[in-house]
Amino acid sequence: MVERLQSLLIPFLILLASVYASLYVGTLPPLWFALLPFFPFILSIIALLLSWHFNKGRVLILVCLLLIPKLHGASDDASMTAYLVVSCFCIALLSFVRERGFFNRFVINRLLFVGMLLGWCYAVESHWVSFGFLDQAIFHFETTWSSFLLWLILCFSIVLVFVGWWSTGDNFQASGLISIVSLIVLTHFSVSQSQFDALLSAQFLLWIWFLLMESHRMAYLDDLTQLPGRRALNEKLVGLPKKYALAMVDVDHFKKFNDTYGHDMGDIVLKNVAAQLKRCSHPGKAFRYGGEEFTIVFRHNRLEGVADILEDIRSHIEQAEVSVFDPKKKKEVSVTVTASIGVAFATQGDLPDEVLKRADEALYQAKRKGRNRVAQAPTLKKI
């Protein structure tokens, strides 16, 4: 729940800041006010360069889509409503498709699809094609069928992205949700061109933030287990307090498991173990050390409960069943794995590398004693 809301926090703050800035845009110094129309182009170029650098084709499509009202200059309500609906619908679709890279056949196909939607809207607005019944009022209301369908698609897009974000906490969907809300504000509450430029600039700033967060995720988060990786662990070890504990967790007989079921099934096991660590290690923080090894950092002032937490983790890993495909039986089977854990407590003056080494020695002690157990390294007495 907390992680979900955190993914929405910065995009929401960008939205609030942009709305506040648009209200007072007239108070800008003359130089900044003169440069304001160029801000959307400058920020869009930065977003395009970052999306190219990090190979994010979905952001490329979004940036091109957001630039359309600035380049086309659509000002009438019908054009802006059509643009709003197409943009929100495309954001919803992009939230549920896989990332395929920056410039390849997948991106070209998606750009052609977006262009087809925009072309269709332009053809309807220009009366190249028309459907008479869509211009008729719904029963005795003033709303026409075309407006009703457009707002229905808009509401569907919002609900779709919201449900996707709520179920996964995905950063792209969080940014997409706020982007849709920003587009509604942009098309219905910006009364001057300067306000429009300020709100549009915030859209590009939102996606620049997303790309920077993605770069951080790629650098610090292990892609398979979704736990922080070795680099994040190294930075965590630098800022530890005087009292802390480090635990090393190793999946038992993992090489034998890979030889029996295959490396892809081994990946499923690692994901399951990571899920147990993430769920049960509080107040510690779990990291993927490498291979089938994980590290848990406890930096809480009260460390007397660490042994119980580690025993709980070991028990949950042992009891969790994982469905894997057995190549010999040619069918899916449920299997369980066990883990050995070694923990070491820091004494005053210990370097983190020394504590980590003692935790690793305790881990091998647990393996020598039969595996599937927790072993604690002896506390060193300082002379």
pTM as predicted: 0.78
Angstrom CA distances, 155 to 105, 184, 195, 322, 364, stand at: 30, 11, 25, 39, 57
Mean pLDDT to the nearest integer, 43-57? 92
Question: Are 63 and 200 in contact, with CB atoms under 8 Å apart?
Answer: no
> Would you list the domain boundaries of the chain?
2-220, 230-376
d(CA 236, CA 353): 12
d(CA 66, CA 44): 9
Mean pLDDT to the nearest integer, 72-85? 67
- Quick one: pLDDT at residue 135? 63
Other C-beta atoms closer than 10 Å to the C-beta of 228 total 20
Please say if the pLDDT value at position 140 is more than 70. no
Share of the chain above pLDDT 70, in %: 89
pLDDT digits (tens, 9 = 90+) for 305-346: 888 999 999 999 999 988 988 888 888 889 999 999 999 998
Please say if the pLDDT value at position 277 is more than 60. yes
pLDDT digits (tens, 9 = 90+) for 88-126: 888 999 999 888 888 888 888 888 888 887 787 777 666
Mean pLDDT to the nearest integer, 18-31? 86
Other C-beta atoms closer than 10 Å to the C-beta of 260 total 15
- Quick one: pLDDT at residue 361? 93
Give helix 77-94 / helix 105-125 axis angle, nearest 10°. 160
**DSSP secondary-structure letter at 199?**
H
Question: Are 243 and 346 in contact, with CB atoms under 8 Å apart?
Answer: yes
The whole-angstrom distance between residue 173's C-alpha and the CA centroid of its chain comes to 8
Please say if the pLDDT value at position 207 is more than 90. yes
Pairing of strands 339-345, 374-376: parallel
Closest CA to 184 of 70, 80, 64: 80
**Domain spanning 230-376 has what CATH number?**
3.30.70.270
Please say if the pLDDT value at position 260 is more than 60. yes
Runs of H (alpha helix) within 221-373: 230-238, 254-261, 263-280, 306-319, 352-368
pLDDT digits (tens, 9 = 90+) for 232-248: 999 999 888 888 999 99
| pLDDT, averaged across the chain | 85
**DSSP secondary-structure letter at 343?**
E
